[in-house]
Structure 1
Amino acid sequence: MMFKSISAIAACLAFAGAAHAASCGNTSAGFEAWKPEFAKEAKRAGVKSAGLQALAQASYATRTIAADRNQKSFRYSLPKFMQIRGADTIVAQGRKRKARSPDFYAALERQYGVPAGVLIAIHGMETAFGGFMGDSSVVSAIVTLTYDCRRSEFFAPHAIGALKLVDQGAITGATKGAKHGELGHTQFLPGNALTYGIDANGDGRVDFYNQTDALASTANFLRQKGWKPGQGYQEGQPNFAVIKQWNAATVYQQAIAIMAARIDG
């Protein structure tokens, strides 16, 4: 189980405010000069030699910057978004997955209070149930977004999280994820992975590319963010606010709630 002490979590999250000690940039020109500056901040935040080496080897992620500037799918109407993201397919496959593994999802709900439909909808939406978990270096992507001036403060703690995950052996500098540095079956941002990760299969490590660990970690994230067992999760109901903690886009939140209800049936 990858729980961190309160002081360690606070240090990681507080790092966002220190990010400006290393000068951001809007092109690749200053990236290599910026990395040693950021390394000093990372070391003060507790990153060790493996994480610092991964930082030194990180490349400027041009495709990540392009993706960050063009997130147009979240501007679609809800029906269009659900069509584009394959909601009907996610629901149909999700029902089958729940029927194949009822004990697994029931155990997660007993422990964390999160219904199967919510976890399955997130899993399907994020990676088509693990079918595609990304083709970008997690470390390079998240470090690039921290260097980029647009949202440095948001991504800085996640960059520190990624480097600490390298230190722990949960990922390497070569681990692939989404273009914004999200990783594993349900696409955790690295800082959240560090904080909420669970070794659910008991093999001694948290592996977000293992479905059991990833879904337990997702359920743990939602529970720790305030999920109320037995309460509703549609718009206007108590747990819809917790779905907002997973993704800030309203259309995404609405889609998850709708698909989850259809899966839970």
Structure 2
Amino acid sequence: MTPRTAWRGCAAAGIVAFICSASFGLIPGMVACGPTGGLDPIVAFEFTRTPAAVAALFGSEPCTATLVAAQKTGLLLDTLGFIPSYTAFLILAAIATGTRTPRVRMAVIATFIIAAVSDQIENGLLYAILRDLPGTSALLGPLWWAVHVKFTLLALGMITIGALLFGTGRKLARVFGTIVAIAGCVSCYGVSPASGGAMVIGFLYGWTTLLVGALLACLSTSPFAARAAPPPDQATPSA
């Protein structure tokens, strides 16, 4: 796959991922029935650690039933739309930026695949909790691991893509790479509900920057292509 083809696929998948992301906010009834710690209801649900916290988030009827229905719709959209699209978006970005570093490229791709699997496992656990609120410690324990593995790997993968962009030696790519890498660091730091949403902000800025870069690369890959290595010195002719 050529870098231009990879960037085009990255841009297309990124647009779908952003449409899916925006659609979460349009789901009817996606309003928390209790405190969320400054997070949106979906992320707040992901970070719940105890049955008591789940019960507080979903409150009492009639709000509970409305939020449960909204969360189930969100899980369906996430499973069938958002996870596949953002995974393709990030993997194709890794392919486009890592053409000269195949080992790093494959490691980043593996990172995003594991993150996607963790996300799907997370959704299965969340659905099980929704079926029998407020869930049990047997479900919330694995949920903690699935959520943290997913977000940590996504953040680390974003940092690596930023580093690969910076390593091309192109001025514009270095600007984009720096923003993406810093956003990844913010997201990695923010993998905690106590961060006040820093993780979400990091992903928003990082993925938006990456999508803009992919759209620009669809027009011309030269601003993001790695500089060619200098030719070897000519051997001094021997007598």
TM over 0.5: no
TM-score w.r.t. length of structure 2: 0.31
**Greater fraction of residues in helix:** 2
Rg larger in 1 or in 2?
A: 2
